[in-house]
Amino acid sequence: MRKTALTAVTLACVVNLALVSPASASTLTLVSTMDGASVPSGGDPDGEGSFQATVDTATHTLCYQLRTSNISNRTKAHIHEGGAGEPGRPLVELSIEDGECVSVDPDTLQSILDNPQNYYVDVLTANYKIGAIRGQLSLQN
């Protein structure tokens, strides 16, 4: 009887930790509000956009919506490493089409989720080859 009670208490603790621990979450949401003023080299002054991604940590997949307005045709989009105002190398290539999913290297994805403010999304156009609009990532609660 004592062993059964101890097992039940241990199981309850494990279930409770799994429900409370952020590390156990299998889906998270990353968001960004983008504009031309956030591009360090000068982006499209009228450009605006938003990025929202559902991240599945079990499959290392990022499914996203990429919305833009007041910019010419998009040519490329990426998630880069870099804080606000800092240039950075592209880590994740995004399709310029809306509603796509991409697989992300597990270590890269975990880094982004651990410190999203150190990563940004940018959208390039033919007129703004370094970036028309840009915005830092954040986790949505």
pLDDT mean over 19-30: 64
Percent of the chain with pLDDT strictly greater than 70 = 82
**CA atoms within a 13 Å half-sphere pointing along the CA-CB vector of 52:** 6
pTM (two decimals): 0.80
Nearest to 130 by CA among 39, 32, 51: 39
For the cut 50, the answer to whether the pLDDT of residue 8 exceeds it is: no
Cα-to-chain-centroid distance, residue 23: 16
| Confidence bin at 99 (pLDDT 50/70/90) | confident
Task: Please report which confidence band the pLDDT of residue 67 belongs to, taking 50, 70 and 90 as the band edges.
Answer: very high
* Average pLDDT score, the chain: 85
Angle formed at CA 102 by CA 69 and CA 95, multiple of 5 degrees: 35
Rounded CA separation 24/28 (Å) = 11
- Per-residue pLDDT at 19 exceeds 80: no
